[in-house]
Structure 1
Amino acid sequence: MLSFRMMNLLSRIKTRTKKKIKRKNPNQNPHKLKNQNPISSITKNHSSLVEEEEEEDTKECFSIKSSAPSHTHGVQPLGNLYFNPGSINSRDTGLGNLHTLTDELVLDILGFLDGNSLGVLACVSKSFYVFTNHEPLWRNLVLENFVDGFQYNGSWKSTFVVSKGYPLLHMASGDVRSFKVRDFYSDYLFQSWLCANLEMKGEWLERDNIVRKRGISVAEFVANFEEVNKPVLLEGCIDNWDALRNWDRDYLVNLCGDDVKFSVGPVEIKLKDYFGYSDQVREERPLYLFDPKFAEKVPKLGLEYEVPVYFREDLFGVLGNERPDYRWIIIGPAGSGSSFHVDPNSTSAWNAVIKGSKKWVLFPPDVIPPGVHPSPDGAEVASPVSIIEWFMNFYGATKNWKKKPIECICKAGEVIFVPSGWWHLVINLEESIAVTQNYVSR
């Protein structure tokens, strides 16, 4: 597989080639050039080409966040090896006979080990040191071993060590020292760092083709959007919510205190500990607080919002207490979100942003998003590891599709209606707080 750097370079060359071909004018009379200054003509053409290439550089290149640290262990993309012909990939020499395995398979095997075994294996070679310190391995160990909550401590490995209570290894956040390994090249390991530190490109955010409505009647909503199964962004329909005025970090932490824990993936965690995690973390797939029992845990939260008038006719309600989970409070840092999926049980959904902003990408039921591979029965969906990875590798493909996705940025005070069967992806552009509910429309 080509490295990210090489693929990016090749894509830029291909794009420029297309541009150059387009610049040729088949109707141009070559004899007209006789009366022109050839140097001037060449200079103008070269100048235009340079401007064109600079424009392409802007469109094709990716930008790393200005605050991004270098890779913790010095991992480089495999393409860099081709620019250092005298180098030998220490990834291969340190793995011995296991070097024939893919990086993904090596990590899958290491995923069966406990923390102590990973620590021992890290001492075998520089290569094993890099692999065994791959943060997702330690993240999985924390989430498996501390389901009642944890306090994030600068890295997942440090969090695991401190949570285990090893007295000699207690480390303050940010004090963990890591070795940087020279000449270690791996696209797979580098991509985790890249996706965690990549800026959202402007072109990923600029398309906004959703219908926006303010003050429409319920009858208009039903006729123009619900019955025809069409997304819409509604403005002004939650202006009376107390949640819109009250829900920020301080209010929620004070209201929930130390006695209430919220669902974050497989663990239950205090809200202040979750915010402590989100302040420190920089990873490819930040944990998302997604709790279906928030109103039961903290009844006041359930009283500070109400279902918008457009969604109050809900056939799910006939199930009473047998109704499956249907409403959630959602909190997450920038970069967190949900990859492509279709809501279960043929439900539609509404999502109201209370703080922050979210980028939405939606495809109709008959269009499977690029890079997404559902099983024949739709029960499972294979897709890129992270949302940023999807934008990097597949978003550009939608430009030339006849059925382009519906896209928008939903901001605080706005509500998006997601019709039944629609594929949708959402990523938080900043720390965001939202309420969402699934319902069965007519």
Structure 2
Amino acid sequence: MTLNLQDIPRIKTISKEDFIKHYFKPQKPVVIEHFIDDWPAYSKWNLDYIKAVAGDKIVPLYDDRPVNYKDGFNQAHAKMKMSDYIDLLKREPTKYRIFLWNILKEVPQLQTDFTFPDFGLRLMKGLPMLFFGGKDSYTFMHYDIDLANIFHFHFEGEKEIILFDQSQNKFLYKVPHALITREDIDFHNPDLKQWPALKHAKGFKTQLNHGEVLYIPEGYWHYMRYITPGFSMSLRAIARHPKHLGKALYNVFIMRNFDNLMRKLKGQKWIDWKNKQAIIRTSKYNS
């Protein structure tokens, strides 16, 4: 038995008005296949190009190790020159990923390769972020702290994506005081005997190819696995739904600080307690 996932709808392109009406207002995901064909990035952006323009940059790397109480929020696990990292990606599978790499700050010339698209939402202009990964590397199932609307543009190769909306929280083994599910769940091939509540979760799936953009609505959980080495760029627009905005403010100003305090006070016992609670709280919904 596998997860209950429906294919995310795919369209060739879309007007601002139709996007707002059919996807933003109902908060439904969509893949737009040919929205950025006129961007220079569409023809230029691949791993070799990034190596050429950013090869000398030192980049933070992350792998799939479980959260440790000693780790700071988004603290890198290693660092490497971008040229060496791209060589590694092309040579062999690696768990090392780059995420939240601000291209405006690091390589301003890349900004001339794209324009901020008009989807009818005000995009945060200072926060275009790049994400890189090698074959079979993945991000844990999580949602973003600010519950933003995300436009995820993929370059080079293929990427598997699974989404759930916030109404599915009770089935996902969500870790309390955190933005992740249990990290030992393999959403690519989940063991439904070990994680039976997942049978009740209803979500979405797709594979992104070069030049395609995925709209991820506010607060959606997302799991991403690189089928081949590649990279993506995310543009964001602030959450508009009052409930999501309130939750975003709570996450940023209360939840994150409380979690950091408890890590300092209780250490690994706090992480272990949270992981146990994820099972206890979800087990009510197994039947």
Give the TM-score taking structure 2 as reference length.
Answer: 0.68
Where 2:162 maps in the other structure, the secondary structure is strand
Q: Give the AA of the match of 2:102.
A: K
CA distance in 2: counterparts of 1:300 and 1:348, whole angstroms: 26
Whether the aligned pair in 1 keeps the contact of 2:147 and 2:220 (CA below 8 Å) is no
Q: Give the AA of the match of 1:384.
A: E
- Counting only pairs closer than 5 Å after superposition, residues 5-404 of structure 1 correspond to structure 2 as 209-258=7-56, 260-265=57-62, 266=76, 267-279=78-90, 281-282=92-93, 286-310=95-119, 312-314=121-123, 316=124, 326-368=127-169, 370=171, 372-375=173-176, 378-385=177-184, 387=186, 391-394=189-192, 401=200, 404=202
Whether the aligned pair in 1 keeps the contact of 2:142 and 2:221 (CA below 8 Å) is yes
Instruction: Report how far residue 419 of structure 1 moved.
Output: 0.6
- Counting only pairs closer than 5 Å after superposition, residues 411-426 of structure 1 correspond to structure 2 as 411-426=209-224
Whether the aligned pair in 2 keeps the contact of 1:262 and 1:268 (CA below 8 Å) is yes
2:205 matched residue in structure 1: 407
Does the C-alpha gap of structure 1 residues 214 and 397 become closer, same or farther in structure 2, counting only changes over 3 Å? farther
Instruction: Report how far residue 301 of structure 1 moved.
Output: 1.0
Does the C-alpha gap of structure 1 residues 385 and 327 become closer, same or farther in structure 2, counting only changes over 3 Å? farther
Q: Give the AA of the match of 2:99.
A: F
CA distance in 2: counterparts of 1:220 and 1:363, whole angstroms: 23
CA distance in 2: counterparts of 1:312 and 1:373, whole angstroms: 29
Does the C-alpha gap of structure 1 residues 433 and 382 become closer, same or farther in structure 2, counting only changes over 3 Å? closer
Structure 1: tracts of 5 or more residues without a match: 1-59, 61-202, 318-322
| More helix per residue | 1
Whether the aligned pair in 1 keeps the contact of 2:93 and 2:136 (CA below 8 Å) is no
Does the C-alpha gap of structure 1 residues 298 and 393 become closer, same or farther in structure 2, counting only changes over 3 Å? same
Percent identity over the alignment is 20
Whether the aligned pair in 1 keeps the contact of 2:150 and 2:237 (CA below 8 Å) is yes
Measured against aligned partners, the alpha-carbon deviations of 1:131-172 in whole angstroms (never above 9, x if no partner) come to: xxxxxxxxxxxxxxxxxxxxxxxxxxxxxxxxxxxxxxxxxx
CA distance in 2: counterparts of 1:441 and 1:245, whole angstroms: 31
* Higher Rg of the two aligned structures: 1
Q: Give the AA of the match of 1:342.
A: Y
Q: Give the AA of the match of 2:169.
A: I
| More strand per residue | 2
CA distance in 2: counterparts of 1:346 and 1:241, whole angstroms: 27
Give the TM-score taking structure 1 as reference length.
Answer: 0.46
Number of paired residues?
225
Q: Which has the higher contact order (CA 8 A, sep 6+)?
A: 2
2:259 matched residue in structure 1: none
CA distance in 2: counterparts of 1:224 and 1:416, whole angstroms: 14
Whether the aligned pair in 1 keeps the contact of 2:14 and 2:35 (CA below 8 Å) is no
Does the C-alpha gap of structure 1 residues 251 and 338 become closer, same or farther in structure 2, counting only changes over 3 Å? same
Measured against aligned partners, the alpha-carbon deviations of 1:208-229 in whole angstroms (never above 9, x if no partner) come to: 5212222321111111111111
Structure 2: tracts of 5 or more residues without a match: 63-75, 241-287
CA distance in 1: counterparts of 2:14 and 2:161, whole angstroms: 22
Whether the aligned pair in 2 keeps the contact of 1:353 and 1:415 (CA below 8 Å) is yes
Instruction: Report how far residue 231 of structure 1 moved.
Output: 0.8
Runs of 4 or more consecutive aligned structure 1 residues displaced over 3 Å after TM superposition: 279-283, 385-388, 394-401
Where 2:152 maps in the other structure, the secondary structure is strand
